[in-house]
Amino acid sequence: MAKKQEIELKLLVSRSTLVRLARWTPPEGWVISPLRQRQLSAVYYDTPDCRLQRKGFALRVRRSRKTLKRTIKFGRAIENGLSQPSEYEDIVDSLAPAIETITDRKLKSRILRALDGAEPEVIFENRIRRNSRIVEVPDCGIVELAMDNGEVYTPNARTTVTELEIELQSGEPYVILSVAEALMYGVTFAPSATSKAGTGYALLAENSENTADRTNLVTQPAGISPAKPKLNDRMTGAEGLGEIGRTAAQQIIMAMNGCLETDDAEQPHRLRVGLRRLRTALRLFRPFAGTPAMRGLADDARDLGRIVGDVRDADVLIDDVIAPAARASAITRDAEWGLISVVDAHRLRKRLAMRKSLRGTRWNTLRLNAFLFDYAVARANAEAANELAETELSRIAPKMLAKCWRRVRKWGDAIDRLDVEERHEMRKAMKELRYATEFFAPLLPGSGAFLKRLKRLQDIFGYLNDVTLTGRLEQIVRASARRRPQPDGFEPAAMKRATKEIHQWHIERADAAWHDAKHRWIELCANTPDWLQAGGVR
């Protein structure tokens, strides 16, 4: 009998990818075993109304050659492909579940309570052809690669399974991330949302003729909404980066999916914000997050942000540049609709380009690090070996905030002399300060009032940046004039005239906005909280 916690990354891949992965050559210095091939068959047990599953248990007996192994999994659900259930395993004499022979008394008691007097019966089975290899990464750990191709079936339905599992055998859990990065280079994959047991239960739900049965079946969670970092003054620097980065990574994952699945204009915006929050976190914690892998992650976030930014800029042109000018009658209604049709066509092209990029393999490393951000932090901490990683967060956060504030003050002290590019740099510095303050808000007394003033000032700078997009509008109109076919009602001369009218309308308002920005900057400096000036964080 053995009871342990299983840690594995489960990725969905194609059959052709499984063949390719079986022939994979690891990086120099890594050790890989010969390919092992097995035929696995497993029988899953539960009651007709799925009492075990409702209590979070999966009970199976698996045959591999002449061995019968009973496994009970329970505990944490799969998230972003990472499976970390508790697992009880023992060798048995028959395919029967034989609950009475479970030697772990507490577990047996929990199983019997879940069954509540009912007898478990066969509910579905699977047959899997598994190719496996052992990979050893020196000074890091050992994993098993399990490449599974087979079927899960119930009495009424069946579905195929083509899946890769990277399971920790020994060493540091972050070895899973290192192996996944190397193994999945140039490979299309998706994180598995469920186990083979979950696949079987889903198959039961889809094909159940009994409405009550469908009601009793538990579906896997669709995902966790990104939340604010939950920091406390007992955390270390590494723990703080893990908590902050994890929330940004979750936002990135959800928004990437949203960009692929919907035309909602908020999804590119949320993705870009998530990418910026991640980059800010990595810059703040650079002393122990400045490893080559983390720098590469920051570069990927920057590059993807530029692609997503093209879509977001088109949304801004329509909603915040053209529409306000039209409402103020700065342009005619015909000119408004003509420009919107031109920009909308441009936005569609950029959205299609973004989706093509997101579906490709260019962002595999970014996605894997987002899925397994805690492992990315642990690996960086091990490689950097910087004492700040183990220093109390409450001691290093003030220095991080002070550095952000100095960067803002560098531009703000010269606010009367800033040109357009320098205003943009000040805006980026304020954005970093805002994110940092939001990250550390649980440690900062009175951060709400400061953030409110900072956001108002940042909004003005954001509008001034939007005004610069009027130049982009003119470029889009010129490019549209060269396209065939042109949008209905498109008149190049009229569109060109309208873009100039929009630009002039915004320039007139930008002067007043810039005057307001200077006033609010003075107000912000006059109300700088003590924890930012003196570095006091409770």
Residue 355, domain CATH: 1.40.20.10
Q: How confident is the model at residue 264 (pLDDT cuts 50, 70, 90)?
A: very high
Q: Give the amino acid at 302.
A: R
Write down the mean pLDDT value for the chain.
91
Q: What is the spatial distance between Cα 199 and Cα 184, in angstroms, rounded to a whole number?
A: 23
271 within some domain:
yes
C-beta separation of 475 from 342 below 8 A: no
Could you give phi then psi for residue 471, rounded to 5 degrees? Answer: -65, -35
Do 53 and 170 reside in the same domain of the chain?
yes
Most confident segment among 212-216, 318-322, 479-483: 318-322
Do 470 and 501 reside in the same domain of the chain?
yes
Do 439 and 478 reside in the same domain of the chain?
yes
Do 360 and 446 reside in the same domain of the chain?
yes
Q: What is the mean pLDDT of residues 159-184?
A: 97
Q: What is the spatial distance between Cα 20 and Cα 310, in angstroms, rounded to a whole number?
A: 35
Partnered with residue 82 across adjacent β-strands are: 9, 79
The pLDDT of residue 300 is above 70:
yes
Write down the pLDDT at residue 483.
Answer: 73
The pLDDT of residue 142 is above 70:
yes
CATH number at residue 149: 2.40.320.10
Write down the pLDDT at residue 486.
Answer: 64
Write down the pLDDT at residue 4.
Answer: 78
Write down the pLDDT at residue 114.
Answer: 97
254 within some domain:
yes
More confident residue, 364 or 229: 364
Hey, is 32 helix, strand or coil? strand
Write down the pLDDT at residue 209.
Answer: 53
182 within some domain:
yes
Most confident segment among 227-236, 332-341, 356-365, 499-508: 356-365
Hey, is 34 helix, strand or coil? coil
Do 211 and 248 reside in the same domain of the chain?
no
433 within some domain:
yes
C-beta separation of 349 from 357 below 8 A: no
Instruction: Tell me the pTM.
Output: 0.90
Q: How confident is the model at residue 64 (pLDDT cuts 50, 70, 90)?
A: confident
Write down the pLDDT at residue 227.
Answer: 74
Render pLDDT for 429-439 as a digit per residue (tens, 0 to 9): 999 999 999 99
Do 192 and 316 reside in the same domain of the chain?
no
Q: Give me the domain span that covers residue 389.
A: 237-533
Residues above pLDDT 90, as percent of the chain? 80
Write down the pLDDT at residue 128.
Answer: 97
Last residue of a domain, one of 187, 216, 245: 216
CB count within 10 Å of CB 534 equals: 11
Do 190 and 253 reside in the same domain of the chain?
no
Q: How confident is the model at residue 488 (pLDDT cuts 50, 70, 90)?
A: low
225 within some domain:
no
Domain count, the chain: 2
Q: Which helix (H) or strand (E) holds 35?
A: none
The pLDDT of residue 210 is above 60:
no
Q: What is the spatial distance between Cα 432 and Cα 434, in angstroms, rounded to a whole number?
A: 5
376 within some domain:
yes
Do 53 and 136 reside in the same domain of the chain?
yes
Q: What is the spatial distance between Cα 391 and Cα 275, in angstroms, rounded to a whole number?
A: 26
Instruction: Give me the sign of the Cα torsion angle 225, 230, 235, 240.
Output: positive
Last residue of a domain, one of 185, 216, 247: 216
Write down the pLDDT at residue 534.
Answer: 54
